Amino acid sequence: MQKIPRACVAGILGFTIATAVFAQTATQPMGASPHIEQVMHGLQTRFASANTTHDGKLTRAQASSSMPMVARHFDEIDTQKAGYVTLPQIEAFMHQHAAQR
């Protein structure tokens, strides 16, 4: 049987640990800045106000009356083409477009 040099073992072990640490931190949300938290709170408040049926679903008409940005991008946000959007869909849309900037 051939012996593996300690440097190779150490390198492989280091790579494995680094990969595991990176994967763990990549899936954990970082502490949101106060500005982001404020924006998200405002979004939640506006969504609750616009959602007059209190069913967690915002129709195009509800969006048009209270959330013009959502109304303008309704078809993009409504990824399931259900005729309504949810708060998580709006948040995902906002995060996606913020990351592109």
Q: For 10-57, how does the pLDDT look when each residue is reduced to its tens digit (9 = 90+)?
A: 445 444 444 444 444 344 455 667 888 888 899 999 999 999 999 999
Q: What is the pTM of this model?
A: 0.64
8: pLDDT strictly greater than 80: no
Q: How crowded is the C-beta side of 55, counted as CA atoms within 13 Å?
A: 7
Q: Dihedral sign, CA of 23, 29, 35, 41?
A: positive
| Residue 17, domain member (yes or no) | no
- Return the beta strands (E) in 1-101 as ranges: 58-59, 84-85
| Residue 60, domain member (yes or no) | yes
| Residue 6, domain member (yes or no) | no
Residue 94 belongs to a domain with what CATH number? 1.10.238.10
| Residue 95, domain member (yes or no) | yes
Nearest to 90 by CA among 28, 46, 29: 46
| Residue 9, domain member (yes or no) | no
From CA 64, how far away is CA 72, in angstroms rounded? 8
| Residue 77, domain member (yes or no) | yes
| Residue 94, domain member (yes or no) | yes
From CA 62, how far away is CA 42, in angstroms rounded? 17
> What domain range is 85 assigned to?
34-100
pLDDT, tens digit (0-9, with 9 covering 90-100), for 55-89: 999 999 999 999 999 999 999 999 999 999 999 99
Other beta carbons within 10 Å of 28: 8
- Tokens matching residue 42: 């405002």
Query: How many domains does the chain divide into?
Result: 1
